[in-house]
């Protein structure tokens, strides 16, 4: 009996030992797998490309004017830290900026590097282009009259340009000393996407133009003006034709009438104007038994009429009554 108990106890001990060995084996493998994943994540490189990042120029703004460069560059960012990389992606949370230092550059056209400053730790950056060409000149200022420009191509068929006005007549121009001598005029050009099928009122930006029509680099104050454009619809004069309507009195044989105007001006789209040869004035003679002047409205689909109301003098012609005397 004791031998059986001993064998049974030994068997249970072996099972328990085997159980703990299995638990330790799986636990050790789980730890190794976790460490392996951590090392993989730590070595993963994240990247992104930022387009049109503004370039800040450092120079003496009171003395010089800089032109001939693109004011932005593309930046390629890489980092093991995704949180920091995402922070640098957004303009709202970004710590870095692009700088071109011109404080020691002399007048003329030079090529200078674009530097990345204040970039977050653990983030790397490459700039494209890494260098830019700029022209540095002595600053010059001059006042120009503003010329409003409206292309007749913006008018639909039959429309006419009636009046163009702007709320400011002069502009202060700041540019390089050589550039400012090339400026022929400053124009306020109505954008080409505007369709002048009605009067226009809105903001129009200014441009400094040379004699060939080329836009020159310059700082303008103001940068824009408010422009008003009045257009005139296609129009023509047509005769007014009177027409008697309404039930006449039994004592009236007929009606004569006199119009205060013989013609009216119609305006609208050209295709509707072309279809109309006259305007009808409907003269309602109901209850009119003596000479009376009434107002008659003029109307026609798809066009505007001027005047839209005329005076009409209605003259009734009474019937002759023959009396028989016995």
| 10-residue averages of pLDDT along the chain (326 residues) | 48 54 50 43 81 95 93 95 92 94 92 95 95 96 97 90 96 97 97 93 97 96 97 92 92 93 92 93 94 95 94 92 54
* Tokens matching residue 68: 């001939």
Distance, in Å, from the CA atom of 73 to the CA atom of 154, rounded to the nearest integer, reads 36
On the 0-12 / 13-18 / 19+ scale of CB atoms within 10 A, 259 is middle
Reference 188, options 143, 144, 229, 147; nearest CA is 147
Residue 204: strand, helix, or coil? strand
Reference 213, options 186, 252, 179; nearest CA is 186
Q: What is the DSSP letter of 152?
A: G
Distance, in Å, from the CA atom of 161 to the CA atom of 196, rounded to the nearest integer, reads 9
* Tokens matching residue 207: 């441009």
Give the up-direction half-sphere exposure of residue 18: CA atoms within 13 A in the CB hemisphere.
6
pLDDT computed for residue 35 by the predictor: 45
Identify the sign of the CA torsion 17, 23, 27, 29.
Answer: positive
Reference 166, options 149, 148, 154; nearest CA is 148
Long-range contacts of 53-57 (CB under 8 A, 24+ apart): 53/97, 53/98, 54/97, 54/98, 55/98, 55/99, 55/100, 55/114, 55/132, 56/97, 56/98, 56/99, 56/100, 57/99, 57/100, 57/102, 57/134
pLDDT computed for residue 319 by the predictor: 84
Q: What is the DSSP letter of 215?
A: B
| CATH, domain 139-232, list 2.102.10.10, 2.170.120.40, 3.40.50.2300, 1.20.1300.10 | 2.170.120.40
Residue 276, Cβ neighbours under 10 Å: how many? 16
Instruction: Check: CB of residue 203 under 8 Å from CB of residue 189.
Output: no
Beta bridge partners of 30: none
Give the CATH architecture of domain 235-318.
Beta Complex (2.170)
pLDDT computed for residue 38 by the predictor: 43
Domain span(s) for CATH 2.170.120.30 in the chain:
46-129
The distance in angstroms from the start CA to the end CA of the chain is 169
Domain 46-129 has CATH 2.170.120.30: yes
Owner of token pair 């202060």:
172
Reference 111, options 136, 134, 128, 127; nearest CA is 134
pLDDT computed for residue 208 by the predictor: 98
Domain span(s) for CATH 2.170.120.40 in the chain:
139-232, 235-318
Nearest-10 Cα torsion for 67, 71, 76, 77: 120
Distance, in Å, from the CA atom of 289 to the CA atom of 215, rounded to the nearest integer, reads 74
């Amino acid at each position: 009996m004791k031998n059986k108990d001993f064998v049974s106890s030994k068997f249970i001990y072996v099972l328990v030992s085997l159980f703990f060995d299995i638990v330790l084996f799986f636990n050790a493998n789980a730890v190794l797998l976790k460490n392996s994943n951590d090392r993989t994540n730590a070595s993963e490189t994240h990247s992104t490309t930022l387009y049109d990042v503004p370039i800040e120029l450092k120079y003496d703004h009171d003395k010089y004017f800089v032109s001939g460069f693109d004011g932005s560059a593309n930046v390629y960012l890489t980092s093991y830290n995704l949180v920091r990389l995402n922070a640098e992606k957004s303009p709202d949370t970004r710590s870095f900026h692009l700088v071109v230092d011109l404080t020691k550059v002399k007048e003329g056209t030079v090529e200078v590097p674009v530097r990345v400053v204040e970039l977050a730790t653990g983030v790397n950056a490459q700039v494209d282009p890494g260098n830019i060409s700029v022209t540095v000149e002595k600053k010059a200022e001059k006042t120009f009259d503003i010329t409003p420009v409206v292309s007749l191509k913006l008018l639909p068929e039959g429309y006419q340009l009636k009046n163009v006005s702007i709320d400011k007549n002069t502009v202060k121009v700041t540019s390089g000393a050589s550039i400012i001598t090339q400026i022929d005029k400053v124009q306020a050009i109505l954008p080409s996407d505007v369709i002048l099928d009605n009067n226009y009122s809105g903001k129009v930006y200014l441009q400094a133009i040379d004699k060939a029509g080329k836009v020159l680099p310059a700082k303008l104050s103001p940068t824009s003006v408010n422009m008003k454009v009045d257009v005139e619809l296609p129009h023509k004069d047509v005769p007014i034709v009177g027409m008697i309507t309404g039930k006449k009195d039994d004592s009236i044989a007929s009606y004569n009438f006199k119009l205060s105007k013989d013609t009216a001006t119609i305006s609208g789209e050209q295709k509707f104007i072309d279809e109309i040869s006259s305007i009808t004035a409907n003269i309602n003679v109901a209850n009119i038994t003596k000479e009376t002047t009434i107002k008659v409205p003029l109307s026609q689909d798809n066009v505007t009429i001027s005047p839209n109301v005329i005076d009409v003098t209605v003259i009734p012609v009474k019937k002759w009554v023959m009396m028989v005397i016995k």
